[in-house]
Chain A
Amino acid sequence: MGKFKTDKIESSVNWKSMFREWGMIFVILLIVVVATIRRPAFLSVSNLINILRSYSTIGIAALGMAYVIIGGGMDLSISSTVSLSAVVTMLVINGTVIEGVSPAHATFLALAAGIIIGALVGCIGGGIMAAVNGQMGESFIITYALQIIIAAVANGVVGGKFQAAGYKSGLFKQIGMGLNPVIIFLVMAVILQIILVKTIFGRNLYFLGANMKAAKMAGIKTRQVRFLSHVICGICAGIAGVVVVSRVNSASISQGLNYEMDAMACVAIGGTSLDGGSGSITKTVLGVVMLGVLLNALNLLGVQANEQLIVRGAVVVIAVVLDTLNKKAKLKEVAK
C-alpha cells in the first residue's frame, strides 16, 4: 500500500481512452463536417445564431436539470412544468389584455406566474425527494409521476385547448424576440455557474451528489440542499415556459414535450456525469450548443423529426456509456 504509479508511461497515444474521453465531441464534429460539406451555409454566423436561438429555451431548462443531476438526482417533471408554465403564462397575458392592464405589468405578471409555477412544482418534487432522502432511482420514478400529474393539471387548466396570444405585439413579445432568449439563457448560466462554484450551497450540492452519506456526516443539511436543487430546476423550467411562449406566441399542453429528454441530453453530452457530484453549468452550456448543432446538422442533412428522436435517445445512452467506461478505466488506472 502507499506505492503509486507516479510515472504514467504513455509510449503511444492511447486511442481507446482518447475515444472514451472525447468520443462524443468527435462524433458531433464529424456530423458538423459532413453537414458543412453538404450545406456550406451550416457554419455561417446566422445559422449558428439561429441554432442558439432555437435551443436557448431547452438550454434554460437544462441549466436547472444540471443542478439536480450534480446533486445526484433527476427531474423528469420539467417537461410538464414547461407546459404548465406556458399555458398559464398565456392565460395571464390573454387575461390582462381584456382587463386592460399595462403591457409592462402584464409582462411582469406573466413572468412571475411562470416562475412561481416552476418553483411550486420544484417544491413538490424537492419536498418529496427530501422526505424520502432518495437518490437517482427514486427521483426518477417520483418525478416521472409528477410529470404525469402536472401534465394533467395543465390539461385541466386549459381543457386541452390550444392557446393563441390575445395580442400580437407588446413588451411580452420582447422576451422571445431576436437574441433575447439567448441573452436570458447566458445570463442565467453565468449566475447559476457562480452560485454553483462560489457559494456554500453550490459546494454542498456537489458533495451531496458525490456521496450523500459523506455529505450528511460532514454536517451538511442534505435534505435542504436536495430540496433547493429541485426548486431551482423548477424555476428554470418555469422561465423556459415563459420564454418559449413569448417566442412562438402561443401555448399548448404539449409545449414542453421531450424537454426532460433534451435537457438530460444536454447535461450528459456536455460531460456532466449522471451519477452526480461532478460537471458544471459551463459544461452544460457546451452541451446545449452541441445538441443544437447536432440536431440542426441533422435537419440540414434531411433527417426527419422521427429519426431525430432515435438520435436523441442514442445520444444520451452513448454519452452515459462513454462516461461509465471512462470512470471504470480511471478507477483501474488508480492504484487499488
Chain B
Amino acid sequence: MSEYILEMRNIRKTFPGVVALDKVSFKVRKGEIHALVGENGAGKSTLMKVLNGVHQADSGEIFLNDEAVKIKDTKDAEKKGIGLVFQECNLVNSLTVSENMFLNNLRRGKHGLINWKELNKITQDFLDSFKFYLNATDKIEDLSSSQKQMVEIAKTLYKKPAIVVMDEPTSSLTTGETEHLFQIMRELKAQGTTIIYISHKMDEIFDMCDTATVLRDGQVIETRPTKDFTRDEIVERMVGRSVEAEYPVRTCEIGETVLKLENVTRNGIVENISFELHKGEILGLAGLVGSGRTEIAEAIFGAEHYDGGIIEVGGKKVQIASTADGKRNGIGLLTEDRKETGLVLSYDLIRNITVTNLKKVRNGFMIDSKKERQVATELAKELNVKTPSMMQIARNLSGGNQQKVVFAKWLFSDVDILILDEPTRGIDVGAKYEIYCLMNKLVESGKSIIMISSELPEVLGMSDRIVVLSGGKKAGELKKDQFSAEAVMRLAIEN
C-alpha cells in the first residue's frame, strides 16, 4: 500500500463551452493536511465536486488507497469515506441541529419510529466531544452564520470520513472560531484523518498545511510541501505572472464632505455608525463578514430602512426611504452579488445599462431606442466591455465584463457617490486591474467611492481612508499613514 490515500489522475471536466478541469492529476498523502489554492474559477471547487460525486468527470480516474473507484453521487462518496464541508450553507434552516446532522439518516428506535430524546443526546454528545459550542435542539435559523458553518463541519465529521474536504471554511468565521476550527483539524490529523483544505488565506495555508497544490485555469501548476514554498511563489503561480503594480496610482484632490453619517442605526444589525465621505475620495469599509458593512451600505442607498441617525448628502439632511430616494440623492450601490441583484442576466446590455436613468434617453413620454442604444454603446466602449454586440444578454459575459456593465449602469445614472460592495469578487486578475483603474478615473472626475472589500490588500491598496466595522459598530478609522494589515485586523476583531 502506498503512502497516498487519494489519487486523481488526468481528470477532465468540461461544462458546455468551458473547460473547467484539464488533465488534472492530484495526489494526497494519508494523514496530511493538503492545501488546494488558486484563484476563483481556477477549478478547485469543481475538482472537489468531482471527488465528491456532485459532478462526474468526462475522463480520468480516481484511486482511493490504490484502488480505482467510480463515485456516482454524494451518497456514494460518503460511503467511500469522503466528506465535503460545503462552502455555501447547505443546511435546512427550519430544522434543528441534530436533524440536520442526521438528515436522511435518522436513527429509528422501537416500533420503527424516531426516538428524539436519544437522537438529540447522541448529537449533543458528539458536539461536546469536539467542543462545538452548539445545542443539538436549536433550530438552524436561530444560529449565526459562523455557528451554521460549524454545524456543517460537525455534520461532515460525524460520518467519520477518512478524507475531509473543507472549502474555504473560515470565510465566515471569527478569529476565535477559526482558531477553534484549527484545533479540531489538528485533532483530526492526530486521529489519522486526511484533510484537503481550500483557502485563499496564506497565513492559514502556511500555519496548517503540510503540502500545497496550486491550480490555475483548470490545470495543476505545482505541488510542493508548504515549507518549500514562499508566499510570493504561491501567489505568482496562482496568477501566472509576478505580482507587481497591483494597484494603479492616482493623483486626485480630496475636496469637501459629500456624505455624512451620524449615528445611523439599524436595530439589531448596525449601531451608531458615523463617518464622512469627501469628494474625490475612496473610503475603504473593512471588517469581517457579518460586521455590518453591507448592511450600512444598504441603509445609505435606501435598500433597507434605518431606524435612527442622520444621513447628510452635500451638507443637507436627507430622508432615504427607498432605493429611488438613494438614486435621487446621487447615491448608487453596486451590490456584491451581481448575478442576483446587479444585473438581469437574461436581458441585453443596453437594457441593463439604461435602467437606472431612462429619463435621460426619453423623448417626451417615449423612450428613444436609437438614442438609448447609442448612449449605452458609448459607455460600454468607454469602460472597455468586451462583448460581440450590445444585444448580447448579460449572462453570456465573463465575470469581469459583467462587473463593468454594472459600473456602466451606475455611471449612466450620473450619481456622485458610488458604494462598491466587493467590486472585484470572482473576477480574474487582469479585469481586477481594469476595475481599479476605472475607480481611479471616477474619483479623478470628481465622484466619491465607498469600497467594501474582504480582501485586505485591496482595501489597503486602493483606499484613502479606512473605516473598520466590527460586530455592527464602528471600531475605528485609519488615515493613510496608519494603514497596515495588522491595524485593520486589530480593529476588525475588536468586540
Asked whether any CB of A lies within 8 Å of a CB of B in the complex, the reply is yes
Interface size class on chain B is: 35 or more
1/0 contact trace for B390-410 toward A, CB 8 Å?
000001101100000000010
Q: Is the interface of B mostly helix, strand, loop or mixed?
A: mixed
Nearest 9 CB-CB pairings of A with B: A335-B17, A219-B327, A2-B398, A198-B366, A5-B17, A210-B344, A200-B358, A219-B323, A217-B341
Are A199 and B366 also in contact (CB < 8 A) when A219-B327, A334-B396, A335-B396 are? Answer: yes
Residue in B15, B326, B359 whose beta carbon sits within 8 Å of that of A336 in the complex: B15
Contact across chains for B18 and A213 when beta carbons are under 8 A apart: no
> A207 contacts the other chain (Cβ, under 8 Å)?
yes
Residues of chain B within 8 A of A217, CB atoms compared: 303, 323, 333, 335, 341-342
Residue in A200, A211, A218, A332 whose beta carbon sits within 8 Å of that of B367 in the complex: A200
> B319 contacts the other chain (Cβ, under 8 Å)?
no
Contact across chains for B347 and A210 when beta carbons are under 8 A apart: yes
**Residue with the greatest number of chain A CB neighbours at <10 A, chosen from B324, B335, B409:** B324
Shortest Cβ gap from A96 to chain B (Å) = 35
Contact across chains for B323 and A218 when beta carbons are under 8 A apart: yes
Residue in B17, B326, B367, B399 whose beta carbon sits within 8 Å of that of A3 in the complex: B17
Q: Which residues of B contact A (CB under 8 A)?
A: 15-19, 41, 303, 322-324, 326-327, 332-333, 335, 340-347, 351, 355-356, 358-359, 362, 365-367, 388, 395-396, 398-399, 409, 413, 428
A5 to B396, CA, bound (A): 10
Residues of chain B within 8 A of A336, CB atoms compared: 15-18
A25 to B14, CA, bound (A): 36
Residue in A200, A204, A213 whose beta carbon sits within 8 Å of that of B341 in the complex: A213
Interface size class on chain A is: 20 to 34
Closest to A218 in B: B355
Residues of chain B within 8 A of A221, CB atoms compared: 322, 324
Q: What are 22 of the A-B contact pairs (CB < 8 Å)? A: A1-B18, A1-B399, A1-B428, A6-B388, A194-B366, A198-B366, A200-B359, A200-B362, A200-B367, A213-B340, A214-B342, A214-B344, A215-B355, A216-B303, A216-B341, A217-B333, A217-B342, A219-B326, A219-B327, A277-B344, A334-B16, A335-B18
A219 to B428, CA, bound (A): 28
> A39 contacts the other chain (Cβ, under 8 Å)?
no
1/0 contact trace for A169-203 toward B, CB 8 Å?
00000000000000000000000001001111001
Shortest Cβ gap from A307 to chain B (Å) = 38
Contact across chains for A198 and B367 when beta carbons are under 8 A apart: yes
A197 to B396, CA, bound (A): 24
Residues of chain A within 8 A of B395, CB atoms compared: 334
A198 to B326, CA, bound (A): 25
Residues of chain B within 8 A of A220, CB atoms compared: 323-324, 355
Shortest Cβ gap from B109 to chain A (Å) = 37
1/0 contact trace for A1-29 toward B, CB 8 Å?
11111100000000000000000000000
